[in-house]
A and B are shown apart, each in its own frame.
Chain A
Amino acid sequence: MKVSLNLVKKFINLDGLTVDEIVHRLTFAGVEVESVEQIAYGTNLTVGEVITCEKMPDSDHLHLTTVFTGNYGLLHIVCGAPNVRVGLKVIVALDGAKLPGGITIKKGKIRGHESEGMLCSLLELGVNSKFLKEEQTKGIEELPSDSEVGNDNVLELLGLDDVILDLKLLANRSDLYSVINVAKELETLFGRKANISKSKDPKNKEISFAVNSLTDKCSQFSARVIKGIEVKESPKWIKQALMSSGIRSINNIVDIGNYVMLLTGQPLHMYDLDKLPATELIVRDDYEGDFVALDEKTYKVKNGDVVITSKGKVMCLGGVMGSLECAVDENTKNVVIESANFDFASIRRTSIRLNLSSDSSMRFVKGINPNQYNEVENFTAQLICDLCNAKEIGETNTYLKSKYIKKVVKTTPRYINARLGTSFTDEQIVSALKSAFISISEKDGVLACEIPDWRIDINGEADLSEEVIRILGFENVNSELPSIKLSVGQMEEKLLHKCEVRSFLRGLGLTEQLTYSLIRESEVKQFAILNKESAYKVMNPLTDEHEYVRTNLLPSLMNVLQYNVNHSQEDLSFFEVSDLYSEGNRHIHLGIILSGNDLRQSHLKGEAYSFYHMKGIVDGLLKLYGIEEKRYTYERSNASELHPGKSAMLKLDGKIIAHFGELHPIVASKLGLNKINVIALELDLDALFNTKVSQKKMEITSRFPAVKRDFALIVNNDVSAGQLTQEIKKVSRMLIKNVDIFDVYRGEHINHGHYSIALTVTFSSLEKTLTDSEINALQDQIIETLKSKFGAELRK
């Protein structure tokens, strides 16, 4: 809401207050001033009269002029405006004048001719061209011939000395879409009396006109007929008031409508009486059909839209826009002024559906004062009387759903202090409320507060507490920590687990990522790797880039990888932990990507990340949650996104909870990641978190020395290391503590289709030191078992 301070000053004396003071006070009281603007700007300006004016010999448009400027003497000024001529009163920017856009006027020579200033147009003083007539934009401003030469107050002379406060109004203060209410707000905040006079009813004739409403979406509808008006240009003061508020002047009757709305916040609509099918206006909401609006466009009106009809024909889309059919134009003689109050929700729906919004519809949507229509009608009629020379003024005809009931809210100073943490006296509270135009009657310590009709936002005690504190100031709030019962501060379990996993992975040197939850449809499909549930689709996405709620993390992390690779980054290891939402479900996933080298392997040249790095991380996670080896298995993954030979899925208690491994070469190519090694993981953390693990008890460690024996075996490629180690452990669960693999070799000296594997088996007993012969026996048993089960041979 752009508020002209000059207009506000018509209602309240602001002498002695700086703009900064006003802005500061308003801002802290909940009326944020977003910016302070000047309608026009310029220093060192004066009024001059053109004494001589000749064409510059070597130019097609420049003139050499002499301009008399009173005290500043006779100045030589070169001017390019086509309308410069002898006798014209003009705006002169003198030497040193500062104009908008950082321009400073300096004496100088233009094409060899001395120029001691500049003759200005209003554009050059910063006035928006939308407020200017075409001729004003093409040449210098022509001042009235009676303008006093040498008058330095040029902006004031032009009525352009205004300061505009751009108020960022919050949803609760719809009352401030009214200059009069802004003046009242300043009265509240500065304790200066605003002077707002009541209008008299200028009615001078009985003119019958019927009004009614057939819908409960209209709580009040008033109309008044005024006859014999003259439509013409508005006087300067009203034009300036509109211009300062960002509204273009049209003609006197339209301008009056806008001016009244600006001052009172009540939107008006004007009908040309002679174009109405009948002397009636009926509000309805059951119309379906086409409607040609003032903007000459056709709109589809639907059942439920508030419309104003006359003899069944739609004359106005209530609160939004009038029809072209009965629009006021320069030939209009007789008008009907409508002031009404419509249900904001319904106006909002219509306005959004038709993509039609105006200053009027915006005010209806925010909410208007339900109890000022009479005053508004009288004020408007009086203005039409004064500015349009109206002959006959009829009475206001009103339909009222129900009579306005004064709002009374009861409270106590004790409640207010208790809510605010303040120690105001009863008097302070009462006087603050009174300053906000709340009338108070006290009985037994209870304040019955009658709320002014324009404050539709005040409905309860809490609202009154806000009034008190914003008026008396938040610096009065006593800062004091709450004294409440002690309780354990903690994260909910899942969040705690997420934090553990995150710090575990960061501890491994992996970088934590955060990516968007909304992704492309193609991305959802490309990596439906673990969670196959269907993804939520956004009904109203902004772009197809963010249309689906992701169901897996790898699509996002692939984007991150691509981004970093494109920015010349290599040796990447990162992860994201995030909640995922798919149709009806919520999962917590972990995604990891490893690419390039693991720099921990050496300080200069790391080892390339492989499947086994990722497997190690997964092992670490399982260990972190104390999940015993017998509860999970790694099996070959069937995920089409991964290399079939270099990937695995993790089954925990029989359920697949992760896929990981090298990216499938075809997928890698598609993603442009085929030149690097990419190891990816998608894991369902919920499954990990939800796995019940029994309380860990201490295991007894042996006091007797352990013995290690190494084996090198040649086995068929079909036999996995996992099978071998499991089988070895089975030989004696009591005495075999560990089986570690320390080398795997394929190639020279090994038969085709076979490989060599070297293992260390650790033997230990809780009861004694094992003898050589006991160990030898176990060793023979191991070799025998492996030979018979897998055809394994000892390597010689």
Chain B
Amino acid sequence: MIEPIKKLIELKDKILEKINEAADEKTLKSVQEQDLSKKSSLSGMMSLISSLSGEDKITFGQAMNSTKKEIQEKFADKEKEIHEKAIKERLEKEKIDISLPGTTYKMGGINPFYQIVDEMIDVFTSMGYQVKEGPDVETDFFNFERMNIPANHPAREMQDSFYITNSTLLRTHTSPAQAHAMDEANGRPLKIICPGKCFRRDDDDATHSHQFGQIEGLVIDKNINLGNLKATLELFLRRMFGEKREVRFRSSYFPFTEPSVEVDISCMECHGKGCPMCKGTGYIEILGAGMVHPNVLEMSGYDPKEYSGFAFGIGIERVAMLRYGVDDIRKFYQGDVRFIEQFTRK
């Protein structure tokens, strides 16, 4: 073997060893500068070619090329190896405790009262209902007279009210919002719900509240009947309480509807078999409803011979209490964030 090739092999072994021994990018880089750059010892070997001639020149040239290639490949491999190792170490070092809490990006809690209102609005607007709020401070004309409860009517005994003057009061039900809506409709068909606050002179306890919410529903058109009411309530109550709910009517009395009904749904705990929640009856009283009394229609500018309508009124807290198992109506108004923040969604 010619002397220069021998030298080349020696140099190659030395460089490869150095590459092999390099443990980090920095060492590897210095190897690159010392041994692989244009001014490196390897490049310097090229000068030896001038001392060779003929065949040797060609052989040495070839040896030179293959050596370069081999070293470059080894270098690239090593570079990759070191890089991967470094990444691995970095990732290991950067490991965090994923059990620590996340930054707070939650929706604020919603009072379950409003959760129910919002859902009911969704259900009814999807059926083409308008949503309007009547005023909390009402005239007794709208609160009573227009609801077919004339002065001294025995039904006024059922509703002990907060009066502001002799003729204005805090409304005792959302029904007067019906009358306002009918006045606005001016004799045209109407499909509306009216959510809102109501007030009665009840001492506050677990099941009574001087303030409570109601949602009033009213549909007026030609040929509206009790069966329409039943189907509407079935659709709505199943949306609120589950598709398996059965809905039944019991005869009742409200001055502004005739016939009037109490509406029960099959118990969501026992599905009608009877349990403590439904007091063994299998059904739970949920709302009052009926066919709009002809007097109410007439007072509101509708000809009761031509038009008929149904109306219903539902207690908002009652729905929330049943759905969420709330045991005390005062909890809706206390503002305890531990209570409210439980109810972000259904």
Contacts and interface: CB of A to CB of B under 8 A. Distances in A.
Interface of A: 27-30, 32, 170-174, 344-345, 348-349, 365-367, 418-422, 460-463, 465-466, 469-470, 474-475, 477-482, 484-492, 494-495, 499, 502, 505-518, 536-542, 546, 549, 557, 559-560, 563-564, 567, 569, 572-575, 579, 581, 586, 599-600, 602-604, 606
Nearest to A505: B108
Given A462-B293, A465-B258, A511-B109, A419 B125 contact: no
B109 to A, nearest CB: 4
Interface string B36-62: 000000000000000000000000000
Given A479-B230, A518-B199, A546-B210, A603 B102 contact: yes
Contact of A603 (B103, B128, B130): B103
A348 B100 contact: no
Nearest to B340: A511
Contact of B108 (A29, A481, A484, A508): A508
B170 interface: yes
Contact of B104 (A348, A466, A487, A600): A600
B232 A482 contact: yes
Contact of A421 (B219, B228, B334): B228
A365 B259 CA distance: 23
B335 A542 contact: no
B227 to A, nearest CB: 2
A581 B137 contact: yes
B128 to A, nearest CB: 4
Contact of B335 (A420, A574, A606): A574
A20 to B, nearest CB: 11
Interface centre among B111, B121, B258, B332 (most CB of A within 10 A): B258
A420 B319 CA distance: 27
Given A365-B154, A421-B230, A572-B337, A510 B124 contact: no
Given A481-B228, A603-B104, A564 B337 contact: yes
B interface secondary structure, majority:
mixed
B318 to A, nearest CB: 15
Which 4 pairs between the two chains have the least Cβ-Cβ distance?
A: A421-B227, A30-B251, A560-B335, A345-B152
A152 to B, nearest CB: 30
Contacts of B155: 171
Given A502-B114, A603-B103, A479 B291 contact: no
Nearest to A462: B258
A512 B225 contact: no
B235 interface: yes
25 contacts: A30-B252, A32-B250, A172-B253, A344-B154, A460-B258, A465-B259, A466-B251, A469-B259, A474-B250, A481-B235, A484-B191, A489-B130, A492-B131, A495-B133, A502-B114, A507-B107, A507-B108, A512-B108, A538-B164, A542-B210, A549-B170, A557-B335, A563-B335, A575-B108, A603-B104
B261 interface: yes
B110 interface: yes
Kindly name the residue among A344, A479, A507, A575 whose own CB sees the greatest number of chain B CB atoms within 10 A. Answer: A479
B228 A482 contact: yes
- Name, among B131, B165, B211, B259, the residue most crowded by chain A CB atoms within 10 Å (CB to CB): B259
Given A512-B114, A515-B333, A586 B135 contact: yes
Interface string B305-343: 000100000000000000000000000111111101100
B291 A419 contact: yes
Given A490-B125, A579-B136, A420 B104 contact: no
A367 B157 CA distance: 13
Interface in B260-277: 260-261
B108 A511 contact: yes
Contacts of B114: 502, 512, 514
Nearest to B126: A489
A469 B341 CA distance: 45
A463 B118 CA distance: 35
A602 B107 CA distance: 17
A475 B247 CA distance: 10
Nearest to A174: B154
B142 interface: no
B29 interface: no
Contact of B226 (A469, A559, A560): A469
Contacts of A495: 131-133
Contacts of A489: 124-131, 191
Contact of A599 (B104, B131, B201, B234): B104
Interface string B138-159: 0000000000000111110110
A480 B108 contact: no
Contacts of B128: 486-489
Nearest to A562: B335
Given A170-B253, A366-B154, A465-B258, A514 B226 contact: no
B108 to A, nearest CB: 4
Contacts of A485: 189
Given A460-B294, A513-B335, A564-B337, A579 B133 contact: yes
Given A511-B341, A538-B170, A470 B251 contact: yes
B291 A474 contact: no
Which of A465, A466, A502, A569 has the most CB atoms of chain B within a 10 A radius of its CB? A466
A475 B197 CA distance: 33
Nearest to A366: B154
B41 to A, nearest CB: 48
B211 to A, nearest CB: 5
B201 A542 contact: yes
- Pick the most buried of B113, B121, B234: most chain A CB atoms within 10 A of its CB: B121
Nearest to A468: B259
B5 interface: no
B185 to A, nearest CB: 11
Interface string B179-219: 00000000001010000010101010000001100000001
Contacts of B248: 474-475
Contact of A563 (B211, B221, B336): B336
A567 B191 contact: no
A316 B261 CA distance: 40
B241 interface: no
A569 B203 CA distance: 28
Given A30-B253, A540-B201, A579-B136, 18 more contacts: A28-B251, A30-B252, A421-B230, A422-B226, A463-B258, A466-B258, A479-B234, A480-B231, A484-B219, A492-B131, A492-B132, A510-B108, A511-B110, A536-B137, A563-B336, A567-B338, A600-B105, A603-B101
